Amino acid sequence: MATACDLIDPDNLELLRILKQAGAIGVLVGAEACEPISLQSVGKNDKVTTPAANIAVSDLLRREELLMLTTFININPYSTTESLKANAEGLLRMGAATFANLTSGLMMLPGTVITQKARDAGILFPSYNPLSTPYDYKIFDGRVEPFARALLAMRYWSNPAVGNILGLAQDMLYLSFGIAIRRQGLKDLQPPRQSEHQLNFNFFMKGLKLAENGWSQQGWKTLVVEYNRSAGLMRRELRKKYGQYMPSFYLTAKTPRSSDPG
């Protein structure tokens, strides 16, 4: 099942438990920004949609022994180093610091209110195209801009649709992995996922520090090489312990290089 984080009522879990009894093993949660400024920039400044709601939902699903997959928007025109740090820390706390979540960006899709506002504000670049370049918009914080572009290029390569499909595929692999280990009596995906999430978080925070202290393309490439090497070692360790449960694609998937087109 799928829902937004602010639609799960911790005081009314009847439907959630009925679905669990019917065979549901997990929930795809649309997590909200982990700090208030980004929420306000997209018109979500009510009392229900708060950074704390993310944590409450992740804790609730863990107590109910339901797997949690997430979608998330990390980068937007108003991102700052502070907001990106808060998002990364919040995602790690939720158990959702996936590569896809940390490198995701707000897509300016046609016909949406936020895209029209961006157009009216003049922050869409002439190169903007809703299908091929939905991330071609101004990022106001000059320190964030090169880091954000590097993350978007790393995830989306030259085609945003490809990046989104790969991100979704990774989540579906987690789900099939979850089904497999549940059948073996294991209740939670957290042990095999925590090491990956910590690795992703550390990589992201190093990139953010690079952005804060003066962006260097060579420094970024060095971080990416280090990250890919560590990710390879991590996958080998996971294969040793959980290989019989894990889909083969997950074991061999590689993170795009910083030199990939984007």
B/e letters for 215-251, b = 16+ CB within 10 Å, e = fewer, are: beeebbeebbeebbeebeeebeebeeebeebbeeebe
pLDDT tier for residue 221 given thresholds of 50, 70 and 90: very high
Is 221:197 a contact under the CB 8 Å cutoff? no
Neighbours of 144 (CB within 10 A): 24
- Report which of residues 160 and 17 the model is more confident about: 17
Residue 51: what pLDDT?
66
pLDDT above 70 for 49: no
If you average pLDDT over residues 221-239, what whole number do you get?
Answer: 83
Tokens found for residue 26: 């997990």
Specify whether the backbone of 47 is left (phi greater than 0), alpha (psi in -120 to 50) or beta: alpha
How many Cα atoms occupy the beta-carbon half-sphere of 3 within 13 Å? 16
**First-residue to last-residue Cα distance in the chain:** 33
Give tens-digit pLDDT for 116-164.
Answer: 999 999 999 999 998 888 899 999 999 999 999 999 888 765 454 555 5
Residue type for position 208: L
**Whole-model pTM?**
0.79
Is 34:86 a contact under the CB 8 Å cutoff? yes
pLDDT above 50 for 251: no
DSSP secondary structure code for residue 260 in this structure: S
Is 139:75 a contact under the CB 8 Å cutoff? yes
Residue type for position 72: F
Is 105:148 a contact under the CB 8 Å cutoff? yes
Q: Is 90 exposed, middle or buried (0-12, 13-18, 19+ CB in 10 A)?
A: buried
* Element housing 29 (H / E): strand 26-30
Lowest-pLDDT choice from 35-39, 93-97, 218-222: 35-39
Most distant CA atoms of the chain, gap in Å: 55
pLDDT tier for residue 260 given thresholds of 50, 70 and 90: very low
Using DSSP bridges, classify how beta strands 26-30 and 2-4 pair: parallel, antiparallel or unpaired: parallel
